[in-house]
Structure 1
Amino acid sequence: MAAAESDGQAEAGTEHLLLGLLTDGVAAATLEKLGVTRDEIREASRRLFAYPADTARAGDPVFSGEAKAALAAAQQLATERTPNCAPVVVNTPQLLAVIATNPGSQARRVLNDLGVDVADIKRQLHCYVNIPRTAFGRRTRRKRRPDDTSARCSFCGHPGSDERRLAAGPDVWICADCVVLCREILAQPAGARST
């Protein structure tokens, strides 16, 4: 909000959220590693968006509709990727993932202007957040028909069936036979494992 206020804006947009992400956490480290600085974000924002010349205004800025949607999408991403028994916490990686992967957001336009490749951001964040392959807000889950044979074990390749049940993970499947094999491998002492 302070960034929007210093820019004389009535609303804090995703470009202001991007500025805020430079202050702390994984998102700050990611942006710094990619060479993104506070001054560059400010210059690109002023170049791309119409900011008033007079920065004196009454009242505190509020989040723009785009910023509110980004915060909600980060909450949704954190909720989807958190086990049921754990508290849902939205951290900087989720918010950076949301605003960087939304092709129409003002933050993404700033990143594009700075020559930052979104794929580099995804690579930096992959350990912290599982970024969906589809755009936020346009996700649909297709229900599998009983005769749908596209579900296959990601490890052995066998299709799922009544005899070979599959457990689903994020973009992966594993059959009961592979689960048993994994348990056997993990039960061996580390030095005894063969590849």
Structure 2
Amino acid sequence: TFSFKEHRALERVTFQVWPGSLHGFVGPNGAGKTTTLKLICTLLRPQLGRITVFGHDVREDMPAVRRRLGFMPDHFSLYRQMTVYEYLDFFGAAYGFSQQQRDRIVADVLALTDMERRRDDLIQGLSRGLQQRVSLARVLVNDPDLLLLDEPASGLDPRARIELMEILRALKQMGKT
């Protein structure tokens, strides 16, 4: 259960997600989809009830939950003056990876998101769809088990939506949830 002041955003929500599965929340604006994702990824704290991620309670073991997941918000912000490589390398450094590890990780996530040829492009020059892929690649830098993507296809043209679904299916095949 979660409320914003007088407005109860969520009440008695129950669901279970199995590892390696792919799910989506569907509902009208204001239904609580984003709030649910923010509760799961520890950006909001549940007021009542219990949320566990891989057996870890989001209130009691926040660091363990955060280590296992990656969150891509609906309004992602990118450091637009950086190249794609610099941006992903920056986050790899923030996670504490060595330069050698970061080089491998960045190469892997660029391949997975089909962005290798854009490695040295400035983010500000990329289309919305390609920026969305950079944001997804950033989420993958720490190799999370659970991906929480808020409105991942928002603003994408039909072709980019299909390409995004192909990437998500590949991630599912890799055992990501």
Q: Which has the higher contact order (CA 8 A, sep 6+)?
A: 2
Greater strand proportion: 2
Q: What's the TM-score, normalizing by structure 1?
A: 0.26
Q: What's the TM-score, normalizing by structure 2?
A: 0.28
